[in-house]
Copies of this chain bind each other. A is one copy, B any other.
Amino acid sequence: MVRIRKSIEDVQEYIPGKTIEEVAKRYGVRPENVIKLASNENPLGPSPKVVKAIKENATLANRYPPADAGELREALSKYVGFPPDQIVAGAGADGVMDVVTRLFIEKGHEVLIPIPTFPYYEIFARACGGTLRFISRDENFDVSADDVLSATTKKTKMVIICSPNNPTGNQMSVSELKKILDEVNVAVMVDEAYVEFADFSVTPLVREYENLIVVRTMSKAFGLAGLRIGYGILPAKIAREYMKIAPAFSVNKLGIAAGIAALGDKKHLHKTQEIVKKGRAFLQNNIPFKTYPSQANFVLMDVSPLTAEEVCEALMKKGIIVRDCSSFRGAGNSLIRVSVGTSDENQCVVGALREVSS
């Protein structure tokens, strides 16, 4: 066969969560009765303004979106308080982070990643030919600036920090992040996909540091996972280079319309934040296993001495999908992540976990 690049051959395939259809088929449950709390989606659904915008734009599906998602970037600019030339948009936060990684990483470069965390960073880095250096988080899943700095070598060209961290839910403090930014002269990418559910954001630091890139998404708090809209807040100089290699038209036309509509419905956002914070507390107080504090729209639990696999299997038989974290590097085999759902869904998953644990 024609030769594939060596660094690609070494990439491990990403294992996504099970879909409703898969579980319904395998366990003989009706799809409409399956509860999916595995992908940290918005339990309220999209804003009614979004639904309206999509319907109004449906007949324009044959037209290309603007190449640079200009109008959406302007709306995002207002939302985050940075000028449009410091905002880039792409096909989901994944799409944005992939392009950012490409700006800095090539064969021979090292990428530092505290684990356990979102597995995709590793795939981006390897696809660029980069080498991974993993830092183990402590028993509370915290990672200190010192841990990061002492793992840095001459080859390190990028540090990727997920905060709030997926799947653990904890944030890195502003002071720890500043310590890292003060010391390293490489790109630091912070994934703030869950920031709307957290107590603070590190975005203001983009004004102070020329090597900080914050990536966010409209998939979670704005309920637009299906439309693939991610964005970055970054120094204008890096944004210019980003625009040169990012695929044009990477945010689709309905996504642009929906994104602008979602940013215009603060009520829906606040309702989402409220329902998530309430549901998160309910899950933390009622799940019959050790849970961890969370600044995100999910809760992590440790089901040991049971394994995540057996608990997830037992839940799927009841038509409930949660996320087995065993495929997350460094997560062991007893961690499960459950998304905050509607009040009914939360009660349902707690009830099922009680049965499993008794």
Asked if A306 is at the interface (CB within 8 A of a chain B CB), the reply is: no
Asked if A226 is at the interface (CB within 8 A of a chain B CB), the reply is: yes
Asked if A304 is at the interface (CB within 8 A of a chain B CB), the reply is: no
Closest to A40 in B: B64
Asked if A25 is at the interface (CB within 8 A of a chain B CB), the reply is: no
A8 B61 Cβ-Cβ under 8 A: no
The residues of B that contact A12 with a CB separation of less than 8 Å are: 244
B227 A1 Cβ-Cβ under 8 A: no
Interface size in chain A (residues, C-beta < 8 A): 80
The residues of B that contact A95 with a CB separation of less than 8 Å are: 91, 247, 250
Closest to A14 in B: B248
Pick from B14, B51, B187, B253: contact of A227, CB below 8 A.
B253
Asked if A293 is at the interface (CB within 8 A of a chain B CB), the reply is: no
Asked if A16 is at the interface (CB within 8 A of a chain B CB), the reply is: yes
Asked if A185 is at the interface (CB within 8 A of a chain B CB), the reply is: yes
Closest to A255 in B: B252
Given the known A-B contacts A3-B157, A226-B64, A254-B226, are A8 and B244 also in contact in the complex, defined by CB atoms under 8 Å? yes
Closest to A184 in B: B2
Pick from B14, B106, B224: contact of A129, CB below 8 A.
B106
Interface positions of A from 89 to 126, Cβ below 8 Å from B: 91-92, 94-95, 98, 102-107, 120, 123, 126
B41 A51 Cβ-Cβ under 8 A: no
Query: 1/0 per residue A20-59: CB within 8 Å of B?
Result: 0000000000000000000101101110001100110111
Asked if A127 is at the interface (CB within 8 A of a chain B CB), the reply is: yes
- Measured CB to CB, the closest approach of chain B to A262, in angstroms, equals 9
A60 B2 Cβ-Cβ under 8 A: no
Closest to A68 in B: B16
- Measured CB to CB, the closest approach of chain B to A342, in angstroms, equals 12
Pick from B64, B98, B104, B211: contact of A39, CB below 8 A.
B64
B58 A104 Cβ-Cβ under 8 A: no
Given the known A-B contacts A64-B39, A244-B123, A247-B94, are A252 and B223 also in contact in the complex, defined by CB atoms under 8 Å? no
Asked if A5 is at the interface (CB within 8 A of a chain B CB), the reply is: yes
The residues of B that contact A41 with a CB separation of less than 8 Å are: 62-64
Given the known A-B contacts A3-B157, A8-B103, A227-B252, are A245 and B64 also in contact in the complex, defined by CB atoms under 8 Å? no
B186 A2 Cβ-Cβ under 8 A: yes
Given the known A-B contacts A8-B241, A9-B241, A245-B8, are A65 and B226 also in contact in the complex, defined by CB atoms under 8 Å? yes
- Measured CB to CB, the closest approach of chain B to A336, in angstroms, equals 19
A245 B11 Cβ-Cβ under 8 A: yes
Closest to A52 in B: B58
Interface positions of A from 176 to 222, Cβ below 8 Å from B: 185-187, 210-211, 219
Q: List 18 A-B contacts (CB under 8 A).
A: A4-B241, A5-B105, A8-B103, A11-B245, A41-B63, A45-B60, A45-B62, A50-B58, A55-B55, A55-B58, A62-B223, A62-B224, A65-B226, A92-B249, A107-B107, A126-B245, A225-B249, A227-B253
